[in-house]
Structures are given as structure tokens and as C-alpha cells.
Amino acid sequence: MSESTAIIEVRPGAAAAPATEAAGATPARLRVFRGEPGSQAHYDEFDVPVEEGMVVLDALHWIQANGAPDLAVRWNCKAAKCGSCGAEVNGKPRLTCKTRLSDFDPAEPIVVEPMRTFPLIRDLVTDVSWNYAVNRSLEPFTPPADVPQSDWRWQQEDIERVQEFRKCIECFLCQDVCHVLRNHETDKPFMGPRFLVRTAGLEMHPIDQADRRRYLKDVGGVGYCNITKCCTEVCPEHIKITDNAIIPLKERVADEFYDPIQWVWRKVRGRPDAPLRTELPMLPSAPAAPVAAARGDGESAAPMAAAEPALPTPPKRASTRPKRPRRRSDAGDETPSEG
């Protein structure tokens, strides 16, 4: 990767807190990634006065209100319910709204960077629209046509697993950490942990009638997951993504397509494979230009149209992305470092 040659340029931020303001508590030093496509990225450093219980997002807001009003940060609820404020804090994908400053060594700067898997828009904001395109390719919830809703009866214990999957707040930290996506390891698309969780929530719904196994195998690329569990580790909702969603889906696919008895039985029955709503996409020959993609649709004229025929490949970071200083700790790693 050419990025490894980039030089870390650290500039003091415009708003270093005066020592008097931070009296009583050691200020936290934040080293924040700044940059946009087509520019040389750098880091700004800010000394932020610390209040009890303060989280990284509080510190970023303080920076915005005290000298860097244009610092780009995506956030909404500040309560870990909306999943907007994901970033990498000291190299780990985290929700900045629930990452406490007190969790870090005050002697070291806290490094805040955007999610690395997605194309950069600016500073800490990335273009996550690819995820929405993947979502559109999934077969929606399909209730039975012949059972009236008044007859639907499910016990609480029958839905607890599905409810676990539906806790997902779509922060995309699992997509960010997944090495298959992060390192663009495959020639064919991979839907990523978030959409395996969504698929599991549909497949295990007590009355859903659709069969998504061929999609999982041929379009979504469930086989690419080699169950390293990185996604489970970063999930702020504590969803057991690998154990409860991905492995059962892999088993369903294996039972359907790789079990010899099933294979013979299918041949005997002569049942055709269920038609696929989607087909295998071609890899885009060129990455989406970040500015156009940043619109939230990836295409200028047809924002989030539903009739997306194929699962797109995540746009690769390319020359339009600013050179990204690399941390020493993640050189050569496939997954973000633990440090």
C-alpha cells in the first residue's frame, strides 16, 4: 500500500485550551485526522478540558465550538442508539459517544480517525452509502400469504434470537473492522457482517417464508467470512454476530448445497433452485468518485432506487482519497490493531 509512505504531519490545533481553563483536571490531548479527497491529510492536535464522564464525542464538540467549527463529525443521538458517530479511536472502531476519555492514558494523545474501510468525505466522515446499496439487494420480509395475521402467535422465547439481531443500530463498525471488506480481499462482493445479521433476522423470523440461502452463497458471499469474530468484538449492541448469525447461516447454506444427501434428494425431486432476485454483479472497473458518491446514493440521478439488480462491490479507496498517515501499530496487520 502506497499509504505507508505518507508522512505524519501533526499541526497544533487552533484551539489548544489555555492552561487556566483546564485547571483542576489534566486536559486530554486529541490528535484528530483532518482531510478530504484531493488534499494532503494531516492531524490536528487539541488540548480539551476534561469534565467527569466525558466521551470522545463531547471532546469533538468542544473542539468544534472552540476554534475548529468546520471539523466534520457525523453524529445524532449521543446515546448509542442511532449508530452515526462511528470512528476509529486509537485504531479501534468505536462509537465516539460511548468511548470515555477516562479509558485512555492521559499521558498519550488520543488518536481519532475516520472508519478506514469506507471512502473518505472529510475529516471523520466517510461515505457509507455502499451499505445502503447492499441492503437494497436483500429479499424483504415475506409473511405467509395463506395465514391471516389474526392467527399469528409467537412465544417470547421464539423471537428472542431475532430480537437480538434487530437490536442492530447500523453503525457499520462491524463492516469497518471486517478484514474481508477492509482489505478488499475478494474479487467478488461480500455483504459483510451487518447484512448477515439482517439476513439472519429475516431467516429466523418465525413466519418468514423466503429462502435466502442461494443469495447468501452466490451473491452475498457468506463463504468469505472466516469467523475471526472481529465484528462481534466491536459491536456496541453486543450482538453475537459470528456465533448467533453468521455460523448458523453458514450451516444452512452448507446443509442446502454441500450435504450429499440433500444434493441427491434435490436431484431425485428435480426441484429447481429458487429464482434469485439478484444476480452476481460485475466489479466496478473504477471506484466511485468520493464527491459524487458522497451524495448518499453512489449515483447522481437515482438515489437509493430499490431496483438495484446486483450487490455492488465496496468502492475501493483510490488516488482520490488523500494520503493517509499510517500508524506504526497497524503496518502489515489485516485487522485493526488492539492498541
Partner 1 sequence: MALAPEALDQIESHPVDVLVIGAGGAGIRAAIEAKAAGASVGLVCKSLFGKAHTVMAEGGVAAALGHVDPEDKWQTHFRDTMVGGKLLNNPRMAELHAQESPDRVQELEAWGAVFDRTRDGRILQRPFGGHSHPRLAHVGDRTGLEMIRTLQDRAVALGIDVYMECTITRLITGGGAAGAGRGVVGAFGYWRTTGAPVTFPAKAVVLATGGIGKAYTVTSNSWEYSGDGHALAYSVGADLIDMEFVQFHPTGMVWPPGVRGLLVTEAVRGEGGILRNKDGKRFMWDYLPEDRRGEYAATDEEAAKWVTAQSQGRVTDARRPPELSTRDNVSRAIYTEVREGRGSPHGGVFLDISYLPAEHVRRKLPSMYDQFKELADVDITKGPMEVGPTTHYVMGGVRVDAETGASTVAGLFAAGEVAGGMHGANRLGGNSLSDLLVFGARTGAGAAAHAARTAAQPYLDPVQVRDAARELAAPLERGSGEDPYAIQHDLQDAMQRLVGIFRIERDLQDAIAELAKLKARWPGVAVAGGRIFNPGWNLVFELRNLLVVSEAITRSALQRTESRGAHSRIDHPETDQAGWGGRNSVVRRRGDGTMEVTTTSLPDMPDELRLLLGGAH
For partner 1, the binding residues (CB under 8 A) are: 36, 51-55, 57-58, 64-65, 69-84, 98, 121-123, 125, 127-129, 132, 135-136, 140-141, 143, 149, 152-156, 159, 162-163, 166-167, 169-170, 202, 205, 208, 291, 294-297, 300, 302-307
Residue 45: strand pairing partners: 12, 31
Neighbours of 334 (CB within 10 A): 12
Q: What's the min distance (Å) between Cβ of 7 and partner 1? A: 24
Question: From CA 324, how far away is CA 322, in angstroms rounded?
Answer: 6
- The smaller minimum CB distance to partner 1, of residues 179 and 220, is found at 220
Q: What's the min distance (Å) between Cβ of 158 and partner 1? A: 8
Q: What's the min distance (Å) between Cβ of 198 and partner 1? A: 9
Nearest to 97 by CA among 115, 123, 73, 118: 73
Question: From CA 217, how far away is CA 250, in angstroms rounded?
Answer: 9
The grid coordinates listed for 70 are 468546520
Query: What sign does the CA torsion over 210, 212, 214, 218 have?
Result: positive
- The smaller minimum CB distance to partner 1, of residues 34 and 250, is found at 34
Question: From CA 96, how far away is CA 83, in angstroms rounded?
Answer: 10
- The smaller minimum CB distance to partner 1, of residues 15 and 180, is found at 15
- The smaller minimum CB distance to partner 1, of residues 153 and 267, is found at 153
Q: What's the min distance (Å) between Cβ of 149 and partner 1? A: 6
- 219 to 105, 132, 141, 274: CA distances (angstroms): 44, 16, 18, 14
- The smaller minimum CB distance to partner 1, of residues 204 and 225, is found at 204
Q: What's the min distance (Å) between Cβ of 332 and partner 1? A: 31
Q: Exposure string (b/e) for 104-129, b if CB count within 10 Å is 16 or more?
A: beeeebbbbbbbbbbbbbbbbbbbbb
Terminal C-alpha separation, the chain: 21
- 18 to 15, 26, 31, 46, 74: CA distances (angstroms): 9, 12, 17, 11, 27
Q: What's the min distance (Å) between Cβ of 51 and partner 1? A: 5
- The smaller minimum CB distance to partner 1, of residues 207 and 264, is found at 207
* Residue length of the chain: 339
Question: From CA 72, how far away is CA 35, in angstroms rounded?
Answer: 10
Question: From CA 302, how far away is CA 308, in angstroms rounded?
Answer: 10
Q: Which residue has 479527497 as its cell numbers?
A: 37
- The smaller minimum CB distance to partner 1, of residues 51 and 108, is found at 51
- The smaller minimum CB distance to partner 1, of residues 48 and 250, is found at 48
Q: What's the min distance (Å) between Cβ of 338 and partner 1? A: 20
Q: What's the min distance (Å) between Cβ of 243 and partner 1? A: 19
